[in-house]
Chains A and B, each alone.
Chain A
Amino acid sequence: MNQNRFAQHESYQPSAGYRFLPFQFLQFDSDRKILVNEVGEYLFLDNGVFEDFVGRTLKPRSDAYLDLKGKHFLFDSSSAAPFELLATKYRTKRAFLAGFTKLHIFVVSLRCEHSCHYCQVSRVSADRTLYDMSAETAKRALDLVFRSPAPDLKIEFQGGEPLLNFERIVQIVNEAKDRANDTGKHVQFVITTNLALVTDEILAFCLDNNIVLSTSLDGPAFIHNKNRPRPGNNSYELTLQNLQRAREILGFDQVAAIMTTTRLSLSHPREIVDEYVSHGFQSIFLRALSPYGFAVKTVKSIGYSTDGFLAFYKAALDYIIELNLNGIHLVETYAQILLTRILTPFTTGYVDLQSPSGAGIGVAVYNYDGDVYASDESRMLAEMGDLQFKLGNVHNDSYAAIFGGELLRTLVSSSCVESMPGCTDCAFQSFCGADPIFNYATQADMVGHIPTSDFHKKNFFIIKYLLTLYEADPAIRKLFWAWVHNTPLDQFQNYEVTV
């Protein structure tokens, strides 16, 4: 046969010139820029190569040229492929929008026997009529929940301490299951509880209804009990004792814990992490205080600067990574969320970091009195007397008025990082999100002022730190992928081969 029936390599090369596809960039360190496109794919380029690229003088066969082309930063032909692939990837990254509001938070009681320093909303009261959700309010709220087009719904019970109104939880779970049956929807339940009031009867109900528990553990006793006062000063002891019982009945992995960072926490990152490890938790969520709505006195005792939090976060994360590399499985949840956004084509269902913001369109809060809020922070503001983010009331307003009204539209249009000043040209835009309520509370403006925003400062720092770790260390790179898949490192792509 004849060799020249095959065409030469040259005849398949693009003719000349290339054009840019949309991307943002940032000077990552002194030598390199990071380029990120609208679907979150990123590339590091040396400064000189970047100059060539944007100057349109990059050599067509160079590695950088091919890398930029393969990752959809440039195109050089009339092929529809880059646009079709980008379009699908863009849809995939925005999949959290599909289905509209999925998470529905029911504040079944505002009462609580704890009086945590960082909680703006709870009331220590025995008066059930004043602060508990009524059966009628619950019914009305469920009417709204089941108007949501989402096929998969999640109902989360919060408070106060929701177990103080357990009969309402029973009613809501039973009715929601019936309605889910009738409508062909799927519904999951979570109770956020301090566990102090948990009984075997309550746990049996949770088991029967596949209800997951989420509790608070702020660290060792001296931190936890300081942050979370209750009569007897035994919150830590009660939490752990009932955690044990809950795990026995529901299953070990059916109880998750989150921690809130206070000033006292800042100097104890290792002790807090060790506390989670010693109780067998597989994840820890290092959460900052919602830094608004406190009295000046409270800020003085528990508050801190964003720099203070970030130093704590970094120390704790470094320690968590060190533990993981030594065979102890513990995922830091916020890092896991960001890494999923950075490393995979997929999105996350985390409503507090989305663009547009998840407020109202990802999550809605039904307060004990029937008021509907766009997020948990919105109702905290309301408890401080600012009703700015009240979407309506289940007794007076229609679904259309609450979820299609002017307020929610404004929230959405004010929280698109693609167009927000300061975010629109940020390289980390596609990993990040917006929080119009935080901006409003801290800067009196839903769009906010990014250069002075603590929200920006925190996310920018953490994203950059995660990228730095990922790029620098192959062992951490593998660990981060294991976190993305929620798998212990020693079970992630490890195979014993015996010869």
Chain B
Amino acid sequence: MKKGKKLLSVIMTAAMTVSLTACSGGGSATNASASATTAAATTAAAADTKTAAAGGKTVITFWHAMGGVNGEATEALVKAFNESQNEIEVKSEYQGNYDDLITKLKAAMQSGNMPDVCQMYDIGTKFMTDSGYALPVEDMFKTTNFDPSTVMNIITSYYTVDGKQMSMPFNVSTPMLYYNKDVFKAAGLDPNTPPKTFDEVLEFSKKIVESKAAPVGYAQAIYGWFFEQQIAGQGKFYANNENGRKAPATEVDFVNNGAGLKIFETWKKLMDSGYAANYGSTTADTQTAFFAGQTAMIIESTAILKNATASSNFEIGTGFLPKIEENADGGVIIGGASLWMMDNKDDARKNAAWKFIEYSTTPDAQANWSMATGYFAINPAAYETAAMKDFIAKNPNFVTAINQLKSSPVNGYTAGVLSGVATESRKIFNEAMEKTYDGTYTPQEAVDYLAEKVNAAITNYNSSTK
């Protein structure tokens, strides 16, 4: 039944292409002379007409990938900005998830239908920089007297390329440890002392499983982000040229500096102990196992704290991301997404775009955003607002996330890797990790495999951008 359906859908997809081809044939014939630039000019003109219609206001478009409650918070932010002044009107448009958004933006770049402000996930930073369609936000700092120190250094360091801040962080999170306090109590562990290292994770898991407090002690999704985090945690680089930030990365570094092998060995040992479980590469599945009380500890983004608290039938504890080994240079890398200014060759819209981005960094805007979504406030002053203080007092687990970020040193390791092939690398990592768990590869073989494949991808990317 299912197979038949799949086959049918394959046939149907193929059928669809015909009609698409047919359309493209006719389309290009009628409009062969129209170049992308003319199209851009037409849209720009159309936008101008709209500007006039809105009563002298500059209308700019903002594309984002925020669904659910985050989407609501984004709309609220845009609304607050629109109401805060009467010169600019931001039109926010949801464009699917992160991957859909980058697909749409790539198409829009070709057709000249770019938005003025675009959200882009962390791993799209290199693409955006290389695309040539983005205006570095740092160029606006001087002319508008924006003080960059109002945004936390460790956060902006991720979005800084060649010493220049390219975009403004928007939704920011790091991974941290979530644990089930009820299970900890039942297993005779101190519910206020989470494990700090993976040795402790193993030790705690053993106690939990053997005391039958929970079926599984620890779980983490197979997710390349966690691998990158553990490299930074050891104070090592993922790729050469200081994570690709001094010059474009040409090869991975984790195989030479030994960080990769340590991670694979640690995780393999944990999985082989029988006290930990692997719920696959979909993070939501690991979350579900934790919410349902199957596993006592998981690694997840700090941004799920709100959802986790509401979903679980037990008391949640949080701790710093467990380490492979102690290291003074090590810390966490921020993830999430940032706001980019797109170059539409229009000064009025450029300035309007910056005004909106600047507004998004104000303490009040950040406080509201953080409370509604669970992401960090990028502006530390947000934590001094009365509403935020009240919120944190009610949600003590929030402090763990902030403290972890504050205790991370700002350096090239915690800035994270700047890579044009991040999506691909993470896919290859999934493969290598799965094959390590099922015993096909030894940790050493897995690291070699990962390094070889990622290096090939990097070489390929570099030759295409030259």
Whether chain B is bound by chain A comes out as: no
Interface of A toward B, CB cutoff 8 Å: none
